[in-house]
Structure formats: C-alpha cells, structure tokens
Chains A and B, each alone.
Chain A
Amino acid sequence: MTVSILKQGNYLIASVQSALTDTEVIELRDALLAQVAKHRSRGVIVDVAAVDIIDSFAARSLTTVARTNRLRGAKTVIVGIQPEVAVAMSQFGLRLDSAYIALDLEAGIQLLTA
C-alpha cells in the first residue's frame, strides 16, 4: 500500500505517498481504524499532500474514519489538502464532517498536542 502509518506516542501519523485507488482507500480506512483500536490512540493525522483528488468515495471513507474515531474518543486530523483539491471539493459540495483539518503536518501535531 502506498501509505505508511507511524506510531508516535499516543498518536498515529498516516502519510499517503501517491494517488490512491478505491481499493487502497478502503485499505487505508480499515488500517487506520484497526491501528487506532490496537494502540488505543488519542488521535490520528492523515497527510494527504500527495493525493491528486478527493472525490465522493475518498471523502466518505475519511468521514467514516473520523466518525468512528470520535466514538472511540480519538481525533482525526486531515492535513495537506492541496489548494486545487480544496476548490474541487468545495465546488462538488464534499465535506469531511467529524474530522479536524490543519494546513500541514506541523499544524496537525500542534492541534493534537495543544
């Protein structure tokens, strides 16, 4: 999978390395949910800076992660959404409900550790 998930203290950091197929989006979703449960994480950062698009399927999958984590008391922070991707999501009407959003990894870590 073109995603690496690192454990950093009470948090997880998932970095998406390239464009994802729908199958890989599902694998990412399931891996994040499993890892958050296994490590009893307080939060997870998903860095999507290398992602080419966020369409309805990717948005729904990330929202599922965020909603599920919230019910576990864990925060989900999406970081690195590219400006063009943000404009396309806005025009489409896609939202990432239940997720926190931060500009980049550094801001995401600040948000979780504040």
Chain B
Amino acid sequence: MSEEVRVPIESDADTVIARQAGRDVALRLGFTRTDATFIATAISEIARNITVHAGAGEMIVRELNEDGRTGLAVIARDEGPGISDVAAVMRQDYRSNAGLGMGIWGAMRLMDEIDIKSSPGEGTTVTMKKWCGFDEVAAFLDH
C-alpha cells in the first residue's frame, strides 16, 4: 500500500512537523539525504505561505508510483484569500525577499514539478512532485 501522511497546518510548529514528515517519507521511499532535505525545505516554504496568508490549511505527503518510477507528492491546501495571478507567481514576477513569491520560487528550484491552483476567495492548492533519482540540477539547467 502506498504511503500517505496528512499534517494539519495551523502554526509554525506544524510546519516543522510537516517538513519532518516529508523527510521521513522521502528517506523511506529511497530518496537521498540531499533530496530529502530539498523536499523538507520546499515544504517549509509552502507551509509558511499557508500560515502567513491563509492562517490554516493542510499538507499531504504522498508516495507516487508512475511508469515504473517512484516519487513523492506534496499537496498543500488552504481556504485562504487565494492568488489572483497564478501565472505571475510562476513567472517569478512576485519574487521578493519576503512573502509568497520567495517560497514558491525556492520550491520551484528544489522540486521537479510544481502546480498551483488558486483564484481569489477560493483558496490555494499547491502540488509539488519530486522523483527518485531525477537530476534536478540538470533539469533546471534545461528549462
């Protein structure tokens, strides 16, 4: 049975629980310690977006098995104010030293795939994936 861990995010203490859960699942699935740290760091950034912008939400860490490869998905959900221009966030127009953009920007560099679904008043769902053995540095340079 594939593995799944759910962590309610209501405070910054929950963020630590979520990133440790992400690291634990990653190591059990066979990710390297470096990749597990990438995942934990991305979780920390995205969980902060929940506590700062939405107040509360949930993170799910889930095992992936597709086309014979193993991976890990992190799904972060909240019912906060949402993002009016997701494309701008993904283009990194929002990048700044504080706030939403920096976290998304970091997560994009640390994970293999990232998808954001959001609209004003509808909350936000961020889905991030990382695949075992995938060379993220090479993939990033290829973009």
**Residues of chain A having any CB pair with chain B under 8 Å:** 19-23, 52-57, 60, 82-85, 87-88, 91-94
Residue from A52, A56, A82, A91 in contact with B45 in the complex, judged by beta carbons closer than 8 Å: A56
Q: Give B99's nearest chain A residue, CB to CB.
A: A56
Enumerate 10 A-B pairs (CB-CB under 8 Å) in ascending A order: A19-B16, A19-B20, A22-B15, A55-B44, A88-B37, A88-B38, A88-B41, A91-B136, A91-B140, A93-B109
A112–B13 CA distance with the chains assembled, in angstroms: 34
**Nearest-Cβ distance from residue A12 to partner chain B, whole angstroms:** 25
A82–B48 CA distance with the chains assembled, in angstroms: 22
* New A-B pairs, 17, CB < 8 Å, besides A88-B41, A91-B38, A91-B137: A22-B48, A23-B12, A52-B20, A53-B40, A55-B44, A55-B45, A55-B106, A56-B45, A56-B106, A60-B97, A84-B33, A85-B37, A88-B38, A91-B110, A92-B109, A93-B106, A93-B109
Contacts of A83 in B (CB 8 A): 34
Q: Please encode chain B, from 89 to 133, with 1 for each CB lying within 8 Å of some chain A CB and 0 for all others.
A: 000000001100011001001100000000000000000000000
**Nearest-Cβ distance from residue B64 to partner chain A, whole angstroms:** 21
Contacts of A57 in B (CB 8 A): 44, 48
Q: Choose among A23, A54, A60, A91 the residue with the greatest number of B CB atoms under 10 Å from its CB.
A: A91
- Are A56 and B38 in contact (CB-based, < 8 A)? no
Contacts of B110 in A (CB 8 A): 88, 91-92
Contacts of A84 in B (CB 8 A): 33-34, 36-37
- Are B109 and A91 in contact (CB-based, < 8 A)? yes
- Are B41 and A55 in contact (CB-based, < 8 A)? yes
Contacts of A20 in B (CB 8 A): 16
